[in-house]
Amino acid sequence: MTIHPETIFQQFAEHYRRPAEHVVRSPGRVNLIGEHTDYNDGFVLPMAIDRAVWLAGAGREDGRVCIDSLDRQESAEFALADLRQENAGWIEYLKGVAAALSGGGHSLRGFDAVLTGDVPIGAGLSSSAALEMAAARLFLALSDQPWDPVAGALLCQKAENEWVGVNCGIMDQLASGCGRAGQAMRIDCRSLEIEHVPLPPDTAVVVLDTATRRGLAASAYNERRRQCQAAAEQLGVPALRDADLAQLENLADTFDDVVYRRARHVISENARTLEAVRVMRGGDAAALGRLMNQSHASLRDDYEVSCSELDAIAASAREHPACFGARMTGAGFGGCAVALIDAAAAEPFTAETHAAYRRQTGLEPALYVSMPSAGTEVVL
């Protein structure tokens, strides 16, 4: 579906019988390469996508936050003066953002809001980060406070880490907050330096939704993070970003096999990500595609976060002559893959890859061409 700001503005007016003060759009993201490197102080190469979370809101003076979720057809509310962790589902993300902003020195105003969006939930496209960033942007807009997307991303990461309980890195929130239309972004997850990088000419990115879901908080994500920390300690470096493959090989005999393979993925993935930036600057779509294919193999074999459906849809994509490369994206264990294709062949690629995956798995995937979009913004 296509969401227009005027539509959600009208939906707010119908629900609350008054006009919205602001409409905020916050995109999901797809990561072209650089997976499970962010929490290792490494490099990632995501882009904000043209699917987003939308919030329309108007302030209220009693310190309460009341949200009507149009997609879920349910409402939730909480008091800013009495924030409690209650494992109450999606509203906990907004509570966590409120707690992080308050703890960061922001004085917040309550609000009424309606919430909608077209970022698939649990698909590895950072619907949670998009929701967090939308909430932070609306809180600050309604409180007449300035917006810094990097500072906002750090507070939203804190909300997800400490309130929701998912020990995520900074990539998702930064990608959602700092996107630029038409470009991907290389993020240094240690310095938070962002370099915008154009896609190779005449290419398109296709998100390949396998129609499988795996909850991130319940996954082995936190286990992988602990394994990476153990590997860094054994290598004597602050984070795996500071190691190279030669160092790892020199100590290979001292490593547990699983921890060794986790480290090998992260170290090699950092190198692939930096090489991807170089070939993108040169407009080399074929080289970028090869790096994406190598990334998927490493995630499948060394990091063990792929699954049969992700492998099947990536392989189905690669079989099409218009495809330069394809890989799983996101935390893994289900969700989405991403393909780089010849833009002129988008229609036959999506139709034929859809059919090939359905034949293999019996599942009905969703494929959509995605353009790099602007980051979190007030649109009305």
Assigned token pair, 375: 């980051």
**b vs e for 3-29, b when ≥16 Cβ sit within 10 Å of the residue's Cβ?**
bebeebbebbeebbeeebbbbbbbbbb
Look at residue 1 in the predicted model and tell me its pLDDT: 63
Q: Are 149 and 375 in contact (CB under 8 A)?
A: yes
Would you tell me the crossing angle of helices 171-178 and 127-142 to the nearest 10 degrees? Answer: 60
* 38, 41, 50, 172: the active-site residue: 172
Q: Are 177 and 152 in contact (CB under 8 A)?
A: yes
Look at residue 102 in the predicted model and tell me its pLDDT: 97
* Torsion on CA atoms 13, 17, 18, 22, rounded to nearest 10: -30
Strand positions, DSSP E, 11-167? 22-33, 43-60, 64-69, 74-79, 110-117
Look at residue 217 in the predicted model and tell me its pLDDT: 42
Instruction: Give the helix ranges, DSSP H, for 104-199.
Output: 127-142, 149-158, 171-178
Q: Is 172 a residue of the active site?
A: yes
Q: Which of 331, 285, 310, 117 is nearest to 209 (CA)?
A: 310
Q: Position of tokens 């930064």?
A: 174
Taken in order 53, 57, 62, 63, is the CA torsion positive or negative? positive
Residue 270 sits at the vertex; the CA angle it makes with 264 and 275, to the nearest 5 degrees, is 125
Which regions in the chain score pLDDT beneath 70?
A: 1, 214-219
CA distance 305 to 295: 12
AA identity, residue 373: S
User: Where are the chain's structural domains?
Assistant: 5-195+374-378, 199-370
| Parallel/antiparallel/unpaired status of strands 110-117 and 64-69 | parallel
Assigned token pair, 95: 């509570």
Would you tell me the crossing angle of helices 285-301 and 308-318 to the nearest 10 degrees? Answer: 160
Look at residue 34 in the predicted model and tell me its pLDDT: 97
Q: Are 178 and 29 in contact (CB under 8 A)?
A: no
Q: Are 37 and 189 in contact (CB under 8 A)?
A: yes
Fold of 5-195+374-378: Ribosomal Protein S5; domain 2 (3.30.230)
CA distance 165 to 182: 33
CA distance 265 to 270: 9
CA distance 320 to 4: 34
Q: Which CATH architecture has domain 199-370?
A: 2-Layer Sandwich (3.30)
Look at residue 166 in the predicted model and tell me its pLDDT: 83
CA distance 154 to 189: 11
